[in-house]
Amino acid sequence: MLELTKSTIYLATNNMNKFEEIRNVLENSKINLRVINIKGNEIQAFSVLSVARQSALNIAEKFEGAFLVEDSGLYIDSLYGFPGPYSSFVYKTIGVGGIIRLIKDRENKNAEFHSALIYGENGKIIKNFVGITEGTISTSIKGEKGFGFDPIFIPNGYNKTFAEMTIMEKNKISHRAKSTGAFAQWITKKLDNA
Ligand code: IMP
The pair phi, psi for residue 154, each rounded to 5°, is -105, 110
pLDDT, position 165: 98
Q: How far is CA 38 from the centre of its chain?
A: 17
* ∠ CA 153-162-101, rounded to 5°: 30
Quote the pTM value.
0.95
pLDDT, position 1: 42
**102 beta partners:** none
pLDDT, position 40: 78
| CB neighbour list of residue 18: distance below 8 Å, 6 or more residues apart | 11, 70, 72, 176
Q: State the amino acid at position 69 in one-letter form.
A: V
d(CA 10, CA 7): 10
Rg of the chain over Cα atoms, rounded to whole angstroms, equals: 17
Whether ligand 1 lies within 6 angstroms of the CB of 148 is answered as: yes
Q: How far apart are the first and last CA of the chain?
A: 23
Q: What is the pLDDT of residues 16-49, one digit of tens each?
A: 999 999 999 999 899 999 999 888 787 888 999 9
Q: What is the largest CA-CA distance in the chain?
A: 62
How does the average pLDDT of the chain come out, rounded? 95
Distance 190 CA to ligand 1 centre (A): 29
Residue nearest to ligand 1 atom 3, measured at CA: 71
d(CA 126, CA 138): 38
Distance 4 CA to ligand 1 centre (A): 33
pLDDT, position 5: 75
CATH ID of 7-192, from 3.30.1330.60, 3.40.50.300, 3.10.180.10, 3.90.950.10: 3.90.950.10
Q: How far is CA 147 from the centre of its chain?
A: 11
Atom of ligand 1 nearest to the CA of 85: 4
d(CA 63, CA 154): 37
Per-residue CA distances from 152 to 20, 36, 103, 110, 161 (Å): 20, 30, 12, 12, 6
Whether ligand 1 lies within 6 angstroms of the CB of 88 is answered as: yes
Whether ligand 1 lies within 6 angstroms of the CB of 149 is answered as: yes
- Which residues are marked as active site? 71
Domain boundaries, the chain: 7-192
pLDDT, position 54: 95
Whether ligand 1 lies within 6 angstroms of the CB of 17 is answered as: no
pLDDT, position 4: 57
The candidate with the shortest Cα–Cα distance to 49, out of 32, 69, 28, 19, is: 69
Q: What is the pLDDT of residues 52-66, one digit of tens each?
A: 999 999 999 999 999
Please identify every stretch of the chain with a pLDDT value under 70, giving residue numbers as ranges: 1-4
Distance 185 CA to ligand 1 centre (A): 24
Per-residue CA distances from 170 to 32, 62, 85 (Å): 21, 33, 21
**128 beta partners:** 118
Whether ligand 1 lies within 6 angstroms of the CB of 71 is answered as: yes
